[in-house]
Amino acid sequence: MNRTFHRRAFLLTAAIAATFSSVPAGAETADEFVARINREFADFWLEGNAAAWTQATYITPDTQLLNARAMERWLEKFGTAVEQSKAYAGKPMSPATERALRLLVLNTTAPAPDDPAKRAELATLLAGMEAKYGSAKYCPEGPESCRDEVQLLEVMRTSRDHAALLDAWTGWHDAARPLRADYQRYATLANEGARSLGYADLGAMWRSGYDMPADDFTKEAARLFAQVEPLYRELHCYARDRLARKYGEDKVPAGKPIPAHLLGNMWAQQWDAVYDLLEPYPGVSRLDLDKALVDQGYDAVRMTKSAETFYRSIGFPALPQMFWERSMLTQPRDRDVQCHASAWHMDGKQDVRIKQCVRPTYEELTTLYHELGHIYYYLWYPQQPYLFQQGAHDGFHEAVGDTVNLSMTPAYLAKIGLVPEATQSREAVINQQMKMALEKIAFLPFGKVIDEWRWKVFSGEVTPANYNASWWALRERYQGIAPPVARTEADFDPGAKYHVPGNVPYTRYFLSFILQFQFHRALCDAAGFEGPLYECSIYGNEEAGRKFGAMLAKGSSQPWQDTLEELTGTREMDASAIMEYFAPLRGWLEEQNQGRQCGW
């Protein structure tokens, strides 16, 4: 997703640094050590996040420097805490302390080598890559022609002109080339840091955050994708046929991957923007929600309040006043900012914020509902100590808001006055399911590709000599997508997606797209809903909200399997709810695709 959330702090004040150095390793019991780390990490959380927030919302060389220095101090003190924690191996401790010590080691996505110069270099690289991405522009004819990410994304979303789409796609991907050398060096340094913590490489460290061995998690991700791949392939076959009708079979040939610039999204990660080209029954229940938002005077604040109202309807609290005072909900005109939507927990308490360049579109509205899912997760678990203030696993954090998105049914949208009430015919149901599948099902292979590529980079299976070729090989294998123009190793197309230079693990999004349907089914059961899963909305149901909130309040204080079981009754992530939800569409697609040359 073009979304993320932030919870890490990076800065230690001098007083806190002194506290770290004044307690010799092993001078405390394990329980005392973890209690101290929780206090101290919580104390510097706000200051480090302030540096990161300032750079993200005001990109200058000065804010980049401040964030890099803050990150450098965090990496140093994180390393100190991890080193001290080794003294407690095999010592008596409570189960909570044992879990906290394991999570401590996983408390960064970019561990630094135990060398001050390399630590400083890594911090500078991380801040620099994020700044380069945030300030990148495509300027084909000089400064007057420059367009940033937001403007180019709008071209991808709205244009149906092949040349314009190709120009925007190529311009943004070419703008990522300067990130290649930085990323190569980052991978080397972060790998060295991961090995110093006892992991084979950084990818193995990331995969170890799921309460199972890293290799077992690799198999688990493959199992989950295998559950949904048949539906994706049916959707791909149908979409390719419709795109060929629009752009010509010479540009979209049967039996071949779809060119990546024709699916309404810069990364071909979700296809709902080209719903007008793929609509099964033209005009049936077609609702211009973008126009409705504009006509009804929705601005960034009103859209955010709409999302808040949903959460409050299920018994969640009102957002703190400081949320409204400190969030960045619109794009400033006077400076560079990082516009990709993100939710921030600044202090581990009530200072929660969203950073998003909101426009009055339905896509932005659903993004706000998603980001408030992060915000409410933050607001449910402040009673947990620092090391447990995160999702049961990172896919849980991403799934919360998207679970609520599934309740934004036509009946719900009618209830809040965005669409008229209407009887749902079979044709209307297929249209609605198609729109949803272009967002949810189209995303699944992309959600798997990004980290699979990075895991291979970190393990050494993919080398800098074939960064780009390997990227496109994976995208073809899983997505059936190909670049619209020839790409070489002078390019760095993975860097055109924020989460790569931004160092944000991406498997969380893949898992969230599985879990959100699993959560939705469990919450609909709790609400006593009877009927097809795709018609369920938990809006206004406080019993469903009670079960939801109970899950969020646990944070990461117990294995995710326990948390999942308490909500859903099962200890295993399972995509069967997706297949249940989309059963009408899958049957329809299978009928439509008979006789077509599917696959690639």
pLDDT in tens, 121-137: 998 999 899 899 989 99
Alpha-carbon distances, residue 554 vs 36, 203, 254, 484, 564 (angstroms): 21, 27, 49, 46, 11
Contacts of 368 (CB under 8 A, 6+ apart): 303, 304, 306, 307, 341, 354, 356, 358
Look over the chain and give the mean of its residue pLDDT values, rounded to a whole number.
92
Q: What percent of the chain shows pLDDT beyond 90?
A: 81
Q: Which helix (H) or strand (E) holds 459?
A: helix 443-459
Q: For residue 316, what are its two tokens?
A: 């969640």
C-alpha 459/C-alpha 499 separation (Å) is 19
Tens of pLDDT along 444-471?
999 999 999 999 999 999 999 999 999 9
C-alpha 396/C-alpha 563 separation (Å) is 10
What does the DSSP 8-state code read for residue 496?
Answer: G
C-alpha 84/C-alpha 20 separation (Å) is 10
Summarize the confidence of residues 532-547 as an average pLDDT: 97
What pLDDT, on a 0 to 100 scale, did the predictor assign at position 182?
A: 97
What pLDDT, on a 0 to 100 scale, did the predictor assign at position 588?
A: 98
Are 539 and 546 in contact, with CB atoms under 8 Å apart? no
- Quickly state the pLDDT bin for 290 (edges 50, 70, 90): very high
C-alpha 132/C-alpha 357 separation (Å) is 18
Tens of pLDDT along 59-106?
999 998 988 888 787 777 778 888 899 899 889 999 999 999 999 988
- Which of helix, strand or coil describes residue 6? strand
Q: Tell me which amino acid residue 576 is.
A: S
Q: Which of 302, 239, 309, 310 is nearest to 276 (CA)?
A: 239
What pLDDT, on a 0 to 100 scale, did the predictor assign at position 114?
A: 85
Least confident of 187-196, 279-288, 528-537: 279-288
- Give the predicted TM-score (pTM) of the model: 0.88
- Quickly state the pLDDT bin for 25 (edges 50, 70, 90): low
What pLDDT, on a 0 to 100 scale, did the predictor assign at position 76?
A: 78
Pairing outcome for strands 341-345 and 258-259: unpaired
Tens of pLDDT along 141-186?
989 999 999 899 999 999 999 999 999 999 999 999 999 999 999 9
What pLDDT, on a 0 to 100 scale, did the predictor assign at position 12?
A: 28
- Quickly state the pLDDT bin for 24 (edges 50, 70, 90): low
Virtual torsion, Cα 495, 500, 503, 507, nearest 10 deg: 180
Q: Which of 198, 192, 29, 217 is nearest to 112 (CA)?
A: 192
Tens of pLDDT along 332-361?
988 888 888 999 999 989 999 999 999 999
How many C-beta atoms surround the C-beta of residue 232 within 10 A? 19
Residue 259 pairs with which residues in a beta bridge?
A: 482
Residue 258 pairs with which residues in a beta bridge?
A: 481
What pLDDT, on a 0 to 100 scale, did the predictor assign at position 9?
A: 32
b/e per residue 358-381 (b: at least 16 CB within 10 A): bbbbbebbbbbbbbbbbbbbbbbb
C-alpha 554/C-alpha 557 separation (Å) is 6
Longest dimension (CA), the chain: 74
Contacts of 595 (CB under 8 A, 6+ apart): none
How many C-beta atoms surround the C-beta of residue 495 within 10 A? 26
**230 vs 114: which has the higher pLDDT:** 230
Are 371 and 342 in contact, with CB atoms under 8 Å apart? yes
Q: Which helix (H) or strand (E) holds 299?
A: none
What pLDDT, on a 0 to 100 scale, did the predictor assign at position 94?
A: 95
Least confident of 9-23, 159-173, 391-405, 551-565: 9-23
Tens of pLDDT along 377-415?
999 999 999 999 999 999 999 999 999 999 999 999 999
Helices (H), ranges, 197-327: 202-207, 214-247, 275-278, 289-295, 300-313, 321-326
Q: Domain map of the chain by residue range?
A: 3-135+177-201
Q: Is residue 267 pLDDT above 60, yes or no? A: yes
Q: For residue 497, what are its two tokens?
A: 């997606």
What pLDDT, on a 0 to 100 scale, did the predictor assign at position 46?
A: 75
